Structure formats: C-alpha cells, structure tokens
Amino acid sequence: MEQKSVVLQTKTIQTNKRLKRVKEYKQQIPLFIMVIPCMILTFIFCYYPLSGWIMAFQNFRPAKGYWHSKFVGFDQFTFMFNDPVFWRTFKNTIGMSIMNLVFGFVFAIGFALLLNEIRSIGFKRVVQTASYLPHFLSWVIVCSLISNILSTYDGTLNNLLMGLGLIDKPVLWLGEQKYFWWIVAFSHVWKEVGWNSIIYIAAMSSIDTELYEACEIDGGNRYRKMWHVTLPGIRPTIVVLLIMNLGWLLNAGFEVQYLFGRGLVMDVSETIDIYVLKYGITLGNYSLGTAAGIFKSVISIALVSISNYISGKLDENSVF
Amino acid sequence: MKNSGLATKGSKIESFIFYTINTIIMLAVIVVMIYPFWNTIVVSFNNAKDTLLGGITFFPRVFSLYNYQTVFKNDLLVTGAVNSVTRTLLSTVLGVFISALVGYVLSRPEFLWRKFVTRYFLVTMYISAGLIPNYFLMKDLNLINNYFVYILPGLVSVFNIIIVRSYMQSLPASLFEASYIDGAGHFRCFIQIILPCCKPVLATVALWCAVGAWNSWFDTFIYASSKESLTTLQYEMMKLLSSSMNSGANQSASSIYGNRPVTDSVTPVSMQAAVTVVASVPILLVYPFLQKYFVKGVTIGAVKG
C-alpha cells in the first residue's frame, strides 16, 4: 500500500517535471524567435565569408570562381614572406602599434591623474567634455584638422614654433619619414585620450577614501598619495587594459596611414591593412590580399587568446 | 608645534602652486582639444580669399556665408548629406533594437542555449574574414553599389549586445518574475517592462551606432564609390582631403597658392573647412547631452570586456 503511493507520487512528480519541461521548451520558442534572425545575419556577414579564405590557396580569378580556380597550395604565402614590401608593412604595423599603445596609455593615465586632482566639479566636467570631442570626429575629419595644423602654409604648429624662434622656416611635417610615426601616435593620443581616461577616472573614484586619509596621517603629501594610493588603486585596470590591447597589436589603425601616406612617406606609413588593400583591391591580386589578411587574422587571434588567458589568470587582481 | 605650523604653511603654498599649474595644464588641454576644430569653424565662416592671406586664428576677419552656400549648392555634397543622415538614422534605430533584443535573450537565465548563442556571437569579435573575402561576399549578395551595404553588414554589433546584456543582468530579477506571473510572454516583457528600464544603456548604444554610421567612409570607398547617388559626406570629405594632400605633398605650399586661379568665391581650403563643419557638427551637437550615459556604458563595457 505504502509502496504504491510512493510509486504514484514519483509518477506525479515525473509528470510534473515533464510538464515543466514542456513548458520550459515552450518558453524557449519566443526567445529563439527573437534571436534567430540575428544569428542568421551574423552567419551571413561573419561566418560565411570565412569560406573565402580558400582564395589564399588558389590562383583566384573572379571569372572562374572558387570551384574552377587553380589550387597553388602555399605559393601565395611563400611569395608574401619573400616580399620585402610585406615585411616593411609588418614592421610599420608593429612599430606604430607599439607607439600608439605606449603613448595612449601614458597620456590617458596621466590625464586621469591630473583631472582627478581638480576639485571644482564644474571645471572638471568642462575639461572632460572638451577632451571627448575628438573621439566623436571621424578619422577623415581628424586628419583634415591635423593637416591644417601641420600645414607649411600658415599652419598653427609652424607659426607657433617660428614665433618662439625654434625653427626659422616652416617644417614639412607630413612629408618627412622621421616624423610620420610620431604624427600617427599623437593623432591617436589627441583623438582618444579623453575617451580612454574615462575608465581610469571611474576606477579612481572607486578607491576607498580611507586609504587617502591613512596616507595623509602617515605624512604623505599629494605626490605620495598619487604614487602609493591612486596608482596602485588603478593598477588592476591598467594591467587588464594593457593585456587586452596587446591582443590588438596588429591593428595600428588604418585611416591615418592611408590618408596621410603620400609620396616619400609611404615607406614608413604602409601597414598590413594597406598592403591588403593595395594588392587585393587596387591591383586585383585577390589571392595575395587574402593571404595577407589571413596572416593578420591568425596572429591577432593567437595574441588575443594569449592575452585573454593571461588576464583570466590575473582575474583575482581585477577591480571588477 | 611651531614646526608643524610652518609645515602647513609650506604645504599650503605648495598646494596653491600645484593647483595653479594643474589648472593651467587643464586649460591647455581644453585649448588643444578645441582649437583645431574652432579654427576650422572660423575659417569656414571667413571670406575665402581673405583666408589665403593667412593669420586667421580665433575669430573670422571677413565674415562670409559664401562657403556654405557653395557647399549646399553642390549636388554631390547634398546627396552625401542626405545619405549620411538616412543611413545614420536607419542604422541607429535598427542597431539599438537588435542589440536590445539579443541582449535580452542572452540575459535570460532560463534560455537553454544561452551559452552556445553567446559564444556564437562572441567569436565574431575576434575572427574577421578580412577585406577581400568580405568584398566578394558583398558582390555575391549583390550589395555592391547598393544602399543596403551601409545598413546590413554592421547591423549586429556584438560589443553593443554584450553591453546591453550586462545592463539587463544587473536589473532586479523580480522585475522579470513579476511580469511572467502576470502572464506576460517574453515579447511583452521585453517591450513593456525591460526596454523602458534600459534607457541609459540604450542611449549609449544609440550614440555609438550613430557615431559609427555617421563617421564611416571606408564602406563607401570600397563598395559604392562608383555610384555617385550613394556617396556620403565623409567620403566626399575624404576626396577633398586626398586632393589637397596630393597637391600639397609634391610642391611647396606657396607655389600651389601662387599658381592656383583663385576664383571669385571659394578656395579648396575654405571648402574643406565648411565641409568639415557640416560633416561633424551633427554628431558633436548630440554627445554632451548623452555624456552621463556613455560614461556609464564605457565602464560596463570594460567590466565585461
């Protein structure tokens, strides 16, 4: 008798569970309907084009298509790795990328530190609003503004330096190789410093004020507080962002280099992206362009995975 | 005691010096950030011939609206402006809706394939096929020289989805439960309960979508450069910049301006200035109002990065 009721009970529980399951699955349907169109779109625009990577192993002719173009194995890669132009663009990419990274970090952190010391909230807001402004301009506009500032004809920088007596005739900033990487780095700093500092300022505002008080009682002055409280307070943020950015080492930006890369400067301005554009689209060597694109993608993925792994390891240190 | 009194006096002076220097640095930052743009605005409102004499800095010398009249009489620029505005509006509305929709689904713990779908989207942040395969994709999809090439490829932004999802996850769970108990399905819960609660994050996403759509020129350059009716403001700006860079790189500036026949009215420099202003002011008018939102958005984004 007792056993029977137990069996019955388990049965009802099972049916209840099954009913719940069915209900659960039913609940899934609207969720699925909501997400499926976007998954299809993502498939079309992100996953499907990966099949185009096959071009890199062919001598691709658009008229023949993927099916009838001749397979050449790794010939495109061999050609690319023996091409001095490719290695030049590779060097330029890494060089400019590291410069952007270093200057970007130093200026954003420095700016955040100084802004943090401003007591007047109104003034702080004005400075911040001004510092975000360039972030919202497109690179085309930014390059146009910078080329005006650097112009040899009535450019602000040349006027300023001549007024101070540092140079006696206008410098052709955009025409000389030795200035180019600096111009790229400082364009990035100018455009993004305010934007990048947001995260540090947020991290600073979450530092416990007791730490500052303790430092003050110990006789620490302003600089000691910055060095021993503020900087260690944002160190986890800095580390995480630094590691994440290392993953994008092959993305030195493309627009400044493309828009400012003229004439002589091209030797130091061309990045891998421009190599792809030049060989792939302009010269119609689609296979080589794809191969260079794959090279960049694969290295980027490796870098991103490594940096994600490291930042995962450091997670206990993270503020967030 | 005397000693400490001296110390405070010293630190007061030190403090004063520090604040003065810091304020000066910050004022310099403001000038550096604003001046290049301000100067361009001034040039755009200055008489074109007069600008060539040089020395225009903070205020126009000979005020003139002629540069703008020329810009708005130029058919290509007007077409570009119309395309830029419509693509920005469309991309923003659709982009925000899609980010919210997918963000909602991925924030629901009862969604059984949540992990898989999240991964499915996340992977695309790291892998991209590259320029050439994408070009052939657009060709296959018949999107070359087609207006929808501006809208479709960027519609699903994983970064925005993740930000919206994080925000929704931080909403109290009782909000969702209450609406389910009241018998609302997912669609109603999404539209009537969740969307109104997400205004701050949606404002952020809207701003980013708008900035991205308004500022892009590369898609026009690659996919639609041979069709004039599809031009955008940024692309026209790029062409102006290119031609001025090309003419400037090979010769010294004075020889260019010496030889160029200066027409009655407008010069490349002034034209470029006026287009710069037209191509950036719409976005710049928006962002100060959304500042309090996007600061939050950036922080959330970094949390989940």
Classify residue B300 as left (phi > 0), alpha (psi -120 to 50) or beta: alpha
CB B139 within 8 A of CB A281: no
A38 at B interface, C-beta within 8 A? yes
The CATH fold of domain B65-305: MetI-like fold (1.10.3720)
Cα dihedral B20, B21, B22, B23 in deg (nearest 10) = 50
**A259/A239 Cα distance (integer angstroms):** 32
Burial class (CB in 10 A: 0-12, 13-18, 19+), B265: middle
The one-digit pLDDT tens for each residue of chain B (305 residues) are: 344 444 566 677 878 888 888 889 999 999 999 999 998 898 888 877 777 777 777 887 778 878 888 888 888 888 889 999 999 999 999 999 999 999 988 888 888 888 888 889 888 888 888 888 899 899 889 888 889 989 999 889 888 898 888 888 888 888 777 777 777 778 888 888 888 888 888 888 898 899 899 999 888 998 988 888 888 889 988 888 888 777 654 443 333 444 444 445 677 778 888 888 988 888 888 887 777 777 776 666 554 43
Instruction: Note whether B186 contacts A123, CB cutoff 8 Å.
Output: no
Residues 6+ apart with CB under 8 A from B276: A141, A144, A145, B40, B44, B237
Which residues, numbered 268 to 297 in chain A, qualify as contacts with chain B under a Cβ-Cβ cut-off of 8 Å?
A: 273, 276-277, 280-281, 286, 289-290, 293-294, 296-297
B258 at A interface, C-beta within 8 A? no
Sequence ranges of the domains in chain A: 2-61, 75-317
Question: Which has the higher per-residue pLDDT, B298 or A246?
Answer: A246
The pTM of this model reads 0.83
Sequence ranges of the domains in chain B: 65-305
Instruction: Note whether B36 contacts A42, CB cutoff 8 Å.
Output: no
Helices and strands, number each (H, E), in chain A: 15, 2
The CATH fold of domain A75-317: MetI-like fold (1.10.3720)
Q: Which pLDDT score is estimated for B297?
A: 67
Predicted ipTM? 0.83
Nearest CB partner across the interface for A136, out of B18, B129, B287: B287
Burial annotation B144-183 (CB, 10 A radius, 16+ → b, else e): bebbebbbbbbbbbbebbbbbbbbbeeeeeeebeebeeee
Q: Which pLDDT score is estimated for B252?
A: 38
Nearest CB partner across the interface for B288, out of A129, A194, A195: A129
Taking only the tens place, the pLDDT of each residue in A37-91 is 999 999 999 899 988 888 888 888 887 777 777 888 888 888 888 888 889 889 9
Nearest CA to A170 out of A156, A150, A155, A152 is that of A152
